[in-house]
């Protein structure tokens, strides 16, 4: 029989379990968010790669698939942020998970409509600033996490953030099972957030051949942090593309970056003026800064190549270190229920496995 785990997080989000599906660009589509939420956790739909005018339909499709609460992710850097905010309010979405560039005014507007606002943080100072800006929940992401990540391990960072803020804190980075949830709760967090574990399920849009490749990776040392892809640290599975970028100079990467930025512009992601302004500003700062700015436009292309088209050597394969311990591709429901059962057993068992006495010596 499924267990129920209620605490401050489940009360805020209206879920059965204190588990959040981390937003992943391109991966966290409507189906994944709906399946996670339907199984009792909190699914989050990533709007970052959805074209202008399509956000409302995507959110409506999630509501059609499940009546359970879910969230939407956006950043202040995407041109259709206002459209996303309007849709979240109109559809009475439970949660809004946000990246950099979202203003305090936007958060206040969402909160005034009952939307719970949460964000990822990778440092104590960022956690404090996020709370001051209006975050209701913090997802504290350690360096074990996939995609863009920081240098500090989760179990080092988590206690520091818990001591620094008073809002509910969710642990992220390196979690995949019930033992991890029990450990996070024992540490003082109100739950865990997982990206890689939910990506490696039957609900994902990732190509079967790519999933099989992920499942074969059993050595955590093959899941590395590289800044060569877009200038920011990202944890990915090592492949030919990553090795080539690591060996390539910034100047050599500038032309491909410009091509990708122009392709993004032609797809309607940015206007010509936005493209020109971004390009000129970056070019004035030199080839290194220009490449770091413009090659971020390559991410959707590289993600699609690796995750959708199954090109595991030339595409981008973001992954947390937990991927090295995951070999079974099962449903979101199976993942969530197993985590809940194991966590409940571990939490119940702690009291029987340790005896605490007052040492009078």
DSSP 188: T
For 212, other C-beta atoms within 10 Å of its C-beta total 12
pLDDT of residue 359: 72
| Tokens, residue 111 | 């909160």
Tokens 């973001």 sit at which residue? 318
The pLDDT of residue 310 is above 70: yes
The pLDDT of residue 47 is above 50: yes
Where in the chain is CATH 3.20.20.70?
Answer: 8-203+331-353
For 329, other C-beta atoms within 10 Å of its C-beta total 17
pLDDT of residue 298: 74
Angle between helices 55-65 and 30-38 (to 10 degrees): 30
CA 170 to centroid of chain Cα atoms: 12
More confident: 4 or 111? 111
Question: 162: left (phi > 0), else alpha (psi -120 to 50), else beta?
Answer: alpha
Among the residue ranges 28-37, 78-87, 264-273, 297-306, the one predicted with the least confidence is 264-273
More confident: 171 or 4? 171
By C-alpha distance, which of 130, 96, 91, 90 is closest to 111?
96
**pTM of the entire predicted model:** 0.87
pLDDT of residue 231: 78
DSSP string, 283-322: HHT-HHHHHHHHGGGGHHHHHIIIIIS--TTTS--B--GG
pLDDT of residue 281: 47
The pLDDT of residue 194 is above 50: yes
* Position 91 confidence tier, pLDDT thresholds 50, 70, 90: very high
| Tokens, residue 293 | 């700015």
Report the C-alpha gap between 209 and 211 in whole angstroms: 5
pLDDT of residue 296: 64
Residues 312-327: tens digit of each pLDDT: 999 999 999 999 999 9
Tokens 């809002």 sit at which residue? 167
The class that CATH gives domain 8-203+331-353 is alpha beta
Q: What is the mean pLDDT of the chain?
A: 89
Residues 205-264: tens digit of each pLDDT: 999 999 999 999 999 999 999 988 887 899 999 999 999 988 865 555 555 555 555 455
* Position 29 confidence tier, pLDDT thresholds 50, 70, 90: very high
Residues 340-355: tens digit of each pLDDT: 999 999 998 887 677 6
By C-alpha distance, which of 95, 87, 32 is closest to 60?
87
What contacts 24+ positions apart, CB below 8 Å, involve 9-12? 9/137, 9/168, 9/170, 9/190, 9/191, 10/191, 12/116, 12/136, 12/137, 12/168
Q: Span 253-277, mean pLDDT?
A: 53
Residue 182's alpha-carbon distances to 31, 176, 284, 323, 337, in angstroms, are 28, 11, 50, 19, 14
Q: Span 174-198, mean pLDDT?
A: 97
Biggest alpha carbon–alpha carbon distance for the chain = 76
Residues 106-121: tens digit of each pLDDT: 999 999 999 999 999 9
Ordered strands of the 191-194 beta sheet: 19-21, 191-194, 169-172, 137-141, 116-121, 95-98, 70-74, 43-46
| Tokens, residue 13 | 């989000």
Q: Is 163 exposed, middle or buried (0-12, 13-18, 19+ CB in 10 A)?
A: exposed
């Amino acid at each position: 029989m499924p267990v129920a785990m209620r605490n401050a997080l489940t009360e805020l989000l209206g879920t059965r379990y204190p588990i959040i599906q981390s937003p992943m660009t391109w991966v966290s589509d409507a189906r994944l968010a709906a399946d996670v939420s339907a199984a009792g956790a909190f699914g989050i739909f990533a709007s970052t790669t959805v074209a202008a005018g399509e956000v409302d339909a995507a959110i409506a499709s999630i509501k059609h698939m499940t009546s359970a609460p879910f969230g939407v992710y956006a950043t202040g850097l995407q041109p259709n942020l206002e459209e996303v905010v309007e849709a979240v309010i109109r559809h009475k979405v439970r949660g809004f998970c946000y990246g950099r560039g979202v203003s305090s005014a936007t958060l206040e507007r969402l909160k005034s409509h009952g939307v719970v606002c949460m964000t990822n943080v990778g440092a104590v100072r960022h956690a404090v600033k996020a709370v001051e800006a209006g975050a209701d929940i913090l997802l504290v992401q350690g360096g074990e996490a996939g995609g863009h990540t920081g240098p500090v391990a989760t179990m080092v960072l988590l206690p520091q953030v818990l001591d620094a803020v008073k809002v509910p804190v969710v642990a992220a980075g390196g979690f995949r099972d019930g033992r991890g949830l029990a450990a996070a709760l024992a540490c003082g967090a109100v739950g865990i957030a997982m990206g890689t574990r939910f990506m490696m399920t039957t609900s994902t849009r990732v190509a079967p051949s790519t999933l099989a490749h992920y499942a074969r990776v059993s050595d955590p040392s093959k899941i590395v942090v590289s800044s060569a892809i877009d200038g920011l640290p990202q944890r990915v599975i090592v492949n030919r593309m990553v090795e080539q970028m690591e060996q390539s100079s910034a100047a050599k990467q500038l032309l491909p970056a410009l091509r990708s930025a122009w392709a993004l512009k032609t797809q309607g992601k940015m206007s010509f003026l936005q493209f020109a302004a971004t390009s000129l500003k970056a070019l004035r700062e030199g080839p290194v800064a220009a490449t770091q700015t413009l090659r971020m436009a390559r991410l959707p292309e590289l993600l699609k190549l690796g995750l959708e088209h199954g090109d595991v050597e030339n595409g981008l394969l973001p992954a947390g270190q937990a991927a090295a311990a995951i070999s079974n591709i099962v449903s979101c429901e199976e993942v969530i229920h197993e985590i809940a059962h194991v966590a409940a057993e571990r939490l119940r068992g702690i009291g029987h496995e340790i005896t605490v006495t007052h040492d009078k010596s």
